[in-house]
A = this chain, B = another copy of it.
Amino acid sequence: MSLIVDRRNIDFLLYEFLEVEKLFETERYGAHDRAGVTAMLDSAEAIAEKHFQPIAAKLDANEPKAVDGKVEIIPGVKEALEAFAEAGFFATVFDEADGGLQLPMSVHLLAAGIFQVANQPIANYAFLTIGNANMLRAFGTEEQIARYMPPMLEGRWFGTMCLSEPQAGSSLSDITCKAEPLGDGTYRLSGSKMWISGGDHELSENIVHMVLAKIPGGPAGVKGISLFLVPKIRVNEDGSLGGSNHIGLGGLNHKMGQRGTTNCLLNFSDGGDTIGTLVGAEGQGLACMFHMMNEARLGVGHTAVMAGLGGYLFSLNYARERLQGRHPQDKNPVSPQVPIIQHADIRRMLLAQKAAVEGAMALTAYCAHLTDLEKVEADADKRANLHLLLEILTPVAKSWPSEHCLEANKWAIQILGGYGYTRDFPVERYYRDNRLNHIHEGTYGIQALDLLGRKVRMKDGAALKVLLGEVTVTAKAAACTELAEEAKALQAAIGALGAALQAVGAASDANRGLANATLFLNSFGHVVIAWLWLRQALIAQKALEGKKDEGSETIFYRGKLGACRYFFRYELPKVHAELALVASLDTTCLEFASEDFGAL
């Protein structure tokens, strides 16, 4: 079996769950068909297996080093990215008019995942570049786009997002990076940016930074933040490279995971001027960023899912091969040992992974599909609803996988026993890689405030209403089938969600109402994943109707039904205690005084 992709599941998601072939009937996506997508996935798998996977452990053990202000990376990384570029993967989601393939985002996301499982740190360079180019396309001037975008789509120049500073991570309104207008339409950037993934390296000919900074004299807080395009090497009018733009490498951060992606402290105007140009309007920096944030957060969520998938596939394969122990009722010491997959607790840990990973993958694929549908939906009301769905699901797509696919990675290690925590096997690496996703691109707590403080209320709860409408359709469809028990459980969970929301809405002050927002996010996520499992199970149930053989298709659908059952029996019931706590507006944490933690 492949240890980096489950192609059958990708096909299930694309053609049975999302029905993307309907997209291929639209004008926008009419150039694509299933055969073409299959060929592209084949190509992704081949490149990932040949160039990405083989150096994953080595790159982890030999992280990039800063030597004389330059970054050294092990051989193979550049070649992998060149192979990725050569196959055209930098350009897949861009419009044909921009030199892209105009591929649906859902297809792109699932193809990208193959590279991510194979070698996340290398994939980061590519997907950061794609995100960067995407933002430039949305907000750049014609001139900026013409000069900077084509080399990114060719994979010759890479891109980054520069938001955080040493003193301002979650609290972006407190950034202090300065952009002083020079009078000729350009700006001089000064200050430092922290946690910049791909911030410096020699892998590409140039690096295009998208930088949040404040123009002196502007308003305080987020309204004073503007967005700037700041290249590592200056670019002449004809697109050729000029001199250094004086961005100093202040240092590399050494993380516990995703170690092969450089993560930098960058100092602007270091030994000379750093010159940038404004992207979008003055004071609209955060608005531009947030326009792209849904996709960036979806990307992080999918990264978490892919780490989970890597651990799941590896531990599944291991559990089928590793012999250890006997069944509880077998007391004969010389009977042969059994493959550990035969132990109920190993199966539990595999099912926990399958339920988390395939559940979360359905969510990230669904969100990506929403962005595709938005682009082809002609009806304005329907289009608005698609956007609302995406808005309310984004904090979940970012957060739920970062928590529950990390938990999945924990079980992958557990299945391998002592081998699991050695660096000879990839499962501990997936676990370390995944731990970052809980924090970057907006922490779990920040997503929770976004969901409970903003998304569930916006437009009088319109987004929530659209989502619950979708969930109810699924529950009703399941109610008169063998999935009736699950349908009932889903509706009970929605009732608990509603009760919690009502209590929060009636809270006397914002602090109290939001004090347990993280728990709400977690349970909300469980309900969403349960819904998507029920949707998958309905498809599987239908596909199994009348099937009598024991072929791989029967097995595949039976696996979907089993994982759905697992999620509804082992996971969904947890929401009731958690939502009851949210509904109680408990103030244990809110009112616990700082000094009461003691140890002063």
Which A residues lie at the B interface, using CB under 8 A? Answer: 1-2, 6, 8-9, 164, 167-171, 173-174, 194-195, 220-223, 253-257, 313, 316, 320, 323-329, 333-334, 337, 339, 341-348, 350-351, 354, 406, 410, 413-414, 417-418, 420-424, 428, 431-432, 435-436, 438-440, 443-445, 448-449, 453, 509-511, 514-518, 552, 555-556, 558-559, 562, 565-566, 569-570, 573-574, 576-577, 580-581, 584, 586, 588-590, 592-600
Contact = CB atoms under 8 A, between A and B. Distances in A.
Given A221-B333, A431-B435, A597 B328 contact: no
A383 to B, nearest CB: 31
A493 to B, nearest CB: 12
A298 B377 CA distance: 62
Contacts of A569: 581, 584, 586, 588
Contacts of A325: 170-171
Q: Taking the full assembly, how many copies of this chain does it contain?
A: 2
Contacts of A169: 324, 417-418
Contacts of A577: 573-574, 576-577
Given A509-B329, A577-B577, A589-B348, A254 B334 contact: no
B345 A432 contact: no
A432 B345 CA distance: 23
A518 B346 CA distance: 11
A341 B594 contact: yes
A2 B599 CA distance: 8
Interface centre among A6, A8, A421, A581 (most CB of B within 10 A): A421
A350 B424 CA distance: 34
Contacts of A445: 343, 345-346, 414
A173 B413 CA distance: 23
Contacts of A341: 594, 597
Given A254-B423, A329-B509, A329-B511, A313 B599 contact: yes
A350 B597 contact: yes
Sorted nearest first, the 10 A-B pairs with minimum C-beta distance are A221-B333, A573-B577, A344-B515, A348-B589, A345-B445, A256-B428, A171-B325, A559-B596, A328-B510, A344-B590
B423 A598 contact: no
29 contacts: A1-B599, A1-B600, A6-B598, A6-B599, A167-B324, A170-B324, A171-B324, A221-B334, A223-B333, A256-B423, A256-B428, A316-B597, A328-B510, A328-B514, A343-B445, A344-B511, A345-B448, A345-B517, A347-B590, A348-B516, A351-B588, A413-B439, A414-B439, A418-B440, A432-B432, A559-B596, A559-B598, A566-B592, A569-B586
A435 B253 CA distance: 23
A133 to B, nearest CB: 24
Contacts of A438: 410, 413-414
A342 B597 CA distance: 12
Contacts of A590: 344, 347
B431 A414 contact: no
A552 B168 CA distance: 33
Nearest to A354: B597
Contacts of A449: 328
Contact of A599 (B8, B253, B256): B8
Contacts of A164: 418
A352 to B, nearest CB: 9
B558 A596 contact: yes
A414 B444 contact: yes
Contacts of A324: 167-171, 174
Given A170-B324, A569-B588, A556 B598 contact: yes
A264 to B, nearest CB: 12
Contact of A422 (B255, B565, B570): B255
Contact of A171 (B337, B574, B600): B337
A600 to B, nearest CB: 6
A331 to B, nearest CB: 9
Given A341-B594, A576-B577, 7 more contacts: A9-B599, A195-B418, A220-B333, A256-B421, A256-B428, A339-B594, A421-B439
A248 B26 CA distance: 68
Nearest to A556: B598
B570 A421 contact: no
